[in-house]
A and B are shown apart, each in its own frame.
Chain A
Amino acid sequence: MKYSIMVNEGPYTHQASDTALQFCKAALEAEHEIFRVFFYHDGVNNGTRYTVPPADDRNIQKEWSKLAETHEIDLVICIAAAQRRGIMDADEAKRQGIDGDNIAPGFRISGLGQLIEGGIIADRQLVFGD
């Protein structure tokens, strides 16, 4: 089965991101395919490399980045939602005249069309949110 995932909440405040991550791991282990993970609303906050949780807690951003690296998963952050919330890659920072970027490895910033495309291409699109 080919899955497309949507994550609508930021890390730590809501469990949505943890659950999405656990679903992706379980699906891959069962030899399903994750076509794309799309981060929307506060979900874009999963993609900043500036999160530093306490040492005895999980690092959700690093787990997403590791998943992307290990399984070549496409992690896409919505540009409009990201702009509102201060998530930047180098190109966007330059365009907006911001003094730095904070996007985490394995994530990329793109448009909402990527979410719709995910729904069209995947067999199932799952929403993780509030």
Chain B
Amino acid sequence: MPGHRRTRLPALLGLVLFACAACTSDADSAADEDPATSTQPPSAVAKTTTSTPVVTLRRADAPVRIRVDQVRGRLPDVKQALLAKAIAAPVSAWFDNAFLDVAYPATDFTAAFASWTPGSRDQSHRDRDVTTNQALGPRLAAVVADSRQVSLSIFGSRGQSGGATARVRLELTGQRLSGPPRIHLKVWGDLYLTPGDDGWRIFGYDLHRSVLDR
């Protein structure tokens, strides 16, 4: 009966929310913990931030998987695989500079936007909690890529490449300096690229980020 559905659903939702809240309370507090405001004794904080962390996360990064989803319009007469490689190069560089090839624990992510147009760097820097690993960087000892996917939609006209959207998905596991040992980060969305004299560059983005703690 509809009446039963109406009364049961909120109860179930309440239980689910209660379950999530109870399960995550420890993880939340650990993930949000800022070393500067930590409840740990000062000596413990100093120990984790001044000594070289022991990295136990040592598996290889997952390879970058590049796929061409769509081609619209007339492109230059080059092999599609070569074109895809050229378009994906700045994306791959961004994966590295903003997340992977970083000396953790890290606070400086200014190199993250080397493959972006100069005009897009200011804005992406303002959004660095999503466009880089700035938010977690100081609390990590190391990261490894679990998945790096790039799906391209390319536009061309009159035999000239006009631009491309790179639908990206980056999944990382991070080793934390303290608290639960592992943290999982996922960044996904679109990067917009155009070709220039010095190769393809990222000029815009629509990105999302989630962090899973355990």
Do chains A and B interact in one complex? no
- Contacts from A to B (Cβ < 8 Å): none
